[in-house]
């Protein structure tokens, strides 16, 4: 046996063990990493407001605390309003449930010529096997549901804590990050950070605008039908459908359908149809246009990024996919070489006119150089950025 073979075998086994340990650690910490990622994008979203308040003499920590306090007050007020509304409607439904049941049974008897009665339906329902099994399973899962609720609250506190520190110590964090990089890399990191703040703010603006449009549209329908709490329900549909990924649309539409059913079962059908039609209008017409204007990415890219984010990280990926894609696209765009395009009929839309030839002595469009290139590097055509040196990283 060669003398180096035992040492090589030990080294190979050590590398395999380190690799397995790294994989195990990553799987154990993936929940924490996702929370930190959400907190980072939340900090990017609130950083413009914090910067505005800090620029007027307020301490950055106090400004961050006020922003988060405003978010907390708005969230608690919204949940309290919906909770009181939902409790009142549930009490009304419980009181009037026998009347609803009688009207449904009479309609079934008159339509299908049957002879059902309320007592018969209640006895069949209470003595059914699936109801007893459901109650037993629910009683057994109380502990698991409680653990999930406590885990969700802990995740929310973790996200709030990390996002507070990211927003309050933003300049210090950028300085610490840039202190280990050469000056040229410092400028690139600061530019990427600035782009991320702008794109995240644009994404939230687009979501807020779509939530406003959706809330107003559903409020008008509910007001016409005479459904109670129409303003609160419209606000619920707008916010939940836009800021809860994947299942937000279904959660948003279920509550107004339920409330409309307490008024008239046919109203619930009208609300359901309107929710479905409006969702298609939003997905194919409204959302691509608004997102393309505020985040500045192609609608097809936005749609594909949401699908990819959902496949990779689930609901978290769907929520941050568009701002992350917009930031990456804007940052990498400076490193893409672009050339003048030759005039060719195959590159013009059908029926399009041929572009006019530039005047003699005029500079080509886009400021291209004589060799046909433009924007060949990240610093091409851009003024020197502040904070590129070690002393100006913040």
For residue range 119-174, what is the model confidence (pLDDT) as tens digits? 777 777 767 777 667 667 766 676 777 777 788 888 889 988 999 998 888 888 88
User: Mutual orientation of helices 183-225 and 315-332 as an angle, nearest 10°?
Assistant: 130
Three-state DSSP class for residue 373 = strand
Predicted model pTM: 0.64
Range ranked top by mean pLDDT from 207-221, 306-320, 374-388: 207-221
Residues 6+ positions from 38 with CB-CB distance below 8 Å = 159, 163, 316, 319, 320
pLDDT at 380: 45
Query: How many domains does the chain contain in total?
Result: 1
* Residues 191, 89: Cα–Cα separation, whole Å: 51
pLDDT at 69: 92
pLDDT at 377: 46
pLDDT band at 382 (very low <50, low <70, confident <90, very high): very low
Residue 216 lies in a domain: yes
Mean pLDDT estimate for the chain: 78
Residue 238 lies in a domain: yes
* Residues 271, 281: Cα–Cα separation, whole Å: 15
pLDDT at 111: 80
pLDDT band at 232 (very low <50, low <70, confident <90, very high): confident
pLDDT at 359: 52
pLDDT, average across residues 60-69: 91
Least confident range from 30-39, 255-264, 374-383: namely: 374-383
Q: Residue 386 pLDDT > 50, yes or no?
A: no
Least confident range from 65-74, 114-123, 206-215: namely: 114-123
Q: Residue 267 pLDDT > 60, yes or no?
A: yes
Residue 48 lies in a domain: no
Q: Residue 14 pLDDT > 90, yes or no?
A: yes
pLDDT, average across residues 333-358: 67
Cβ atoms 98, 122 nearer than 8 A: no
Cβ atoms 243, 262 nearer than 8 A: no
Q: Residue 84 pLDDT > 80, yes or no?
A: no
- pLDDT above 90 as % of the chain: 10
pLDDT at 210: 87
Residue 248 lies in a domain: yes
Q: Residue 385 pLDDT > 70, yes or no?
A: no
Q: Residue 66 pLDDT > 80, yes or no?
A: yes
Q: Residue 197 pLDDT > 90, yes or no?
A: no
pLDDT band at 196 (very low <50, low <70, confident <90, very high): confident
Least confident range from 3-7, 166-170, 187-191, 342-346: namely: 342-346
pLDDT, average across residues 376-392: 43
Cβ atoms 335, 192 nearer than 8 A: no
pLDDT, average across residues 360-381: 44
Residue 83 lies in a domain: no
Sequence length of the chain is 394
Domain that holds residue 250: 181-337
Residue 246 lies in a domain: yes
User: Mutual orientation of helices 230-243 and 248-263 as an angle, nearest 10°?
Assistant: 160
The closest alpha carbon to 382, from 199, 196, 187, 194, belongs to 187
pLDDT, average across residues 11-38: 92
Distances (CA, A) of 34 to 171, 183, 189, 196, 202: 23, 30, 22, 18, 22
pLDDT band at 10 (very low <50, low <70, confident <90, very high): very high
Question: In terms of pLDDT, which residue wins out, 356 or 151?
Answer: 151
Residue 4 lies in a domain: no
Residue 124 lies in a domain: no
* Residues 89, 260: Cα–Cα separation, whole Å: 10
């Amino acid at each position: 046996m060669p003398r180096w073979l035992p040492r090589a075998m030990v080294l190979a086994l050590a590398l395999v063990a380190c690799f397995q340990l790294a994989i195990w650690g990553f799987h154990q910490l993936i929940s924490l990493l996702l929370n930190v990622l959400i907190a980072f994008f939340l900090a990017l979203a609130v950083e413009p407001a914090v910067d505005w308040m800090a620029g007027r003499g307020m301490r950055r920590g106090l400004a961050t605390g006020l922003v988060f306090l405003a978010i907390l007050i708005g969230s608690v007020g919204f949940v309290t309003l919906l909770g009181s509304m939902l409790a009142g409607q549930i009490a009304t439904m419980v009181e009037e449930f026998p009347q609803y049941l009688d009207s449904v049974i009479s309609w079934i008897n008159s339509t299908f010529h049957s002879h059902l009665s309320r007592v018969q339906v209640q006895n069949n329902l209470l003595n059914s096997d699936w109801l007893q099994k459901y109650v037993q399973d629910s009683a057994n899962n109380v502990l698991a549901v409680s653990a999930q609720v406590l885990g969700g609250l802990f995740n929310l506190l973790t996200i709030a804590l990390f996002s507070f520190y990211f927003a309050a110590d933003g300049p210090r964090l950028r300085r610490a990050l840039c202190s280990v990089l050469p000056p040229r890399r410092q400028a690139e990191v600061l530019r990427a950070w600035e782009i991320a703040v702008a794109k995240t703010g644009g994404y939230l603006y687009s979501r807020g605008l779509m939530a406003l449009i959706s809330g107003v549209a559903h409020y008008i329908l509910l007001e016409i039908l005479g459904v109670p709490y129409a303003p609160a329900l419209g606000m619920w549909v707008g916010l939940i459908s836009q800021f809860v990924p994947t299942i937000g649309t279904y959660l948003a539409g279920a509550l107004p359908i339920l409330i409309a059913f307490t008024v008239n079962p046919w109203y619930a059908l009208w609300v359901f149809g309107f929710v479905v039609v409006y969702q298609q209008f939003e997905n194919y017409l409204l959302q691509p246009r608004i997102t393309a204007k505020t985040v500045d990415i192609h609608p097809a890219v936005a749609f594909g990024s949401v699908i990819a984010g959902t496949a990779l990280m689930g609901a978290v990926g769907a929520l941050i996919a568009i701002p992350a894609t917009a930031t990456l696209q804007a940052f990498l765009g400076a490193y893409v070489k672009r050339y003048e395009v030759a005039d060719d009929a195959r590159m013009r839309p059908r029926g399009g006119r041929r572009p006019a030839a530039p005047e003699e002595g005029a500079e080509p469009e886009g400021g291209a150089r004589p060799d046909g290139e433009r924007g060949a590097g990240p610093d091409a055509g851009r003024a020197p950025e502040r904070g590129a040196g070690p002393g100006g990283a913040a």
